Amino acid sequence: MALGKLCVVGLGYVGLPVAAKFAEVGFNVAGIDIVKNKVTLINEGKSPIEGNEPDLAELVAKVVSDGSLRAFTSYESVKDADFVIIVVETPFDNGAHKPIYGALISATKSVGQHIKKGVLVIIESTVAPGTVKNIVQPLLESESGMVAGTDFMLATAPERVMPGKLLHNLVHMDRVVGGIDEASTSKAVELYKHIVKGHLYPVDSTTAEVVKTVENAYRDVQIAFANEIALLCENIGVDVWQVRDLVNRAPSRNMHLPGAGVGGHCLPKDSWLLAFGAKGKYKPKLISLARDINDAMPAHMSDLCEEALQSHNLRLHGSNVTILGVAYLENSDDTRNSPALILKQNLEVLGINTTLHDPHVKSTDTFRVLSDFEEAVENSDCVAIVTAHDEYRKIDLDRLKGLMRTPILVDGRNVLDPDECSHKGFSFRAIGRPIRNARNH
Ligand SMILES: NC(=O)c1ccc[n+]([C@@H]2O[C@H](COP(=O)([O-])OP(=O)(O)OC[C@H]3O[C@@H](n4cnc5c(N)ncnc54)[C@H](O)[C@@H]3O)[C@@H](O)[C@H]2O)c1
């Protein structure tokens, strides 16, 4: 006997692991997505998520083959569902300064048109504070003709997963669960106890929304601090990685990692979702500045490449730069808001030819990615590392130097050893490190 019927709307990086996990523990799960190819692939028992995602492909194969997870493009299965989880994308329009809720509104309307009495609807998408009460609840009520808190329950349970650790974080992380009333909160807590081994903290829905967006705003500010210190270190002429290591030996200091840019679906927008919740009554200064600092890092990578090429007396126009890593995160295939793609644009504006390499990312209609490392670096004047994929930690520097036209390395993720690189005859540039020219340069 199944533990109940559960629908997951949105089968992306978050929705697919959630659906598979509830299926594994005994729910009869229907996954819904508007992308037909994704639905077909999942029904063949295959995970559309590439990269190093431990246990996910195996779990999807298992729950599809035993019939506990099925995927659909229609919402029919919502009709007899006891639980519906909505976890569609929630980007932010930086120009108009408001969330882009097209997917959330469309999914919520479709769910509202199909739900039965007594259902618990849960929003797992990250949303601006107040969204569940002010947007989702009225939409569900108007579409269903029912009243939240009387005829159906409504809660939010924001996710703390990240690519590379999707299943692990889903199961082991503590998380907040916030309903629009106590009945919704406690029903949602009971539901998540089936898959979450971490602690579940019951709160109200708005508090849950604030907690989620603050978590990511906090991280973004921490990264911006590390990036600013890296830029200072470069200009002072010291090594930020040594500085960071020693700073973190002082009590209560935990300086974050600087790098070539913050990407992904979440960090670049969750600070803005948080700010949006204050409805303009307070305009944040610190988190807004942090966003600007982090957004500028790919341009800084471009400056490092430009300076290194010019130091070799190369004309920018017509020189070749190979960008290693298109995914925003190591060992992942997620290219949303990828710093590499911004770097590519910046370099191309200077007339520089760019080649993208990534072992986990496939070419799309908008960019071409090579998976063969040697093909990607051959005849290159500069190799710029944007993502710390494991593969890049094992680069054979002698072989690389033999393939490149000019031996320049720009390390945006502290992947390579600067001493080794200059000993091997490379000009070496890195975020947060003094310039090193090749021994023989
Ligand atoms: N990716 C992460 O690591 C992560 C972590 C924590 C929270 N979140 C939040 O979770 C939410 C989802 O993120 P994601 O990374 O899974 O996004 P995603 O883009 O990978 O997945 C969203 C899915 O929803 C589908 N979809 C869109 N509109 C739909 C509709 N009307 N009906 C059915 N399906 C629809 C899309 O086709 C897509 O497959 C976002 O709010 C995000 O901020 C993501």
For residue 174, the domain's CATH number is 3.40.50.720
pTM equals: 0.95
Residue 149 lies in a domain: yes
50 and 158 fall within a common domain = yes
* Catalytic residue list contains 98: no
243 and 197 fall within a common domain = no
78 and 130 fall within a common domain = yes
Q: Could you tell me the two tokens for 372?
A: 């063969």
271 and 208 fall within a common domain = no
Q: Could you tell me the two tokens for 283?
A: 């305009």
Residue nearest to atom 25 of ligand 1 (CA): 10
Residue 107 lies in a domain: yes
Measured distance CA(3)–CA(22) in Å, rounded: 9
Residue nearest to atom 29 of ligand 1 (CA): 103
265 and 161 fall within a common domain = no
The last residue of a domain, from among 167, 193, 212: 212
The last residue of a domain, from among 177, 212, 247: 212
Written as one letter, the residue type at 345 is Q
42 Ramachandran zone, left/alpha/beta (phi>0; psi -120 to 50) = alpha
254 and 385 fall within a common domain = yes
Residue 130 lies in a domain: yes
CB atoms within 10 A of CB 292: 9
Written as one letter, the residue type at 9 is V
The last residue of a domain, from among 148, 177, 212: 212
Burial class (CB in 10 A: 0-12, 13-18, 19+), 303: middle
243 and 208 fall within a common domain = no
Tally of domains within the chain: 2
Give the active site residue among 266, 305, 382, 421.
Answer: 266
Residue 274 lies in a domain: yes
269 and 402 fall within a common domain = yes
The boundaries of the domain holding residue 157 are 5-212
- Lining ligand 1 with CB less than 6 A are 9-15, 32-35, 38, 87-90, 103, 106-107, 125-126, 159, 161-163, 265-266
* Catalytic residue list contains 212: yes
249 and 200 fall within a common domain = no
pLDDT tens digit at each of 441 positions of the chain: 789 999 999 999 999 999 999 999 999 999 999 999 999 999 999 999 988 899 999 999 999 999 999 999 999 999 999 999 999 999 999 999 999 999 999 999 999 999 999 999 999 999 999 999 999 999 999 999 999 999 999 999 999 999 999 999 999 999 999 999 999 999 999 999 999 999 999 999 999 999 999 999 999 999 999 999 999 999 999 999 999 999 999 999 999 999 999 999 999 999 999 999 999 999 999 999 999 999 999 999 999 999 999 999 999 999 999 999 999 999 999 999 999 999 999 999 999 999 999 999 999 999 999 999 999 999 999 999 999 999 999 999 999 999 999 999 999 999 999 999 999 999 999 999 998 887 654
- Angle at 52 (CA atoms; ends 48, 55), nearest 5 degrees: 75
Nearest-atom number in ligand 1 for the CA of 11 is 39
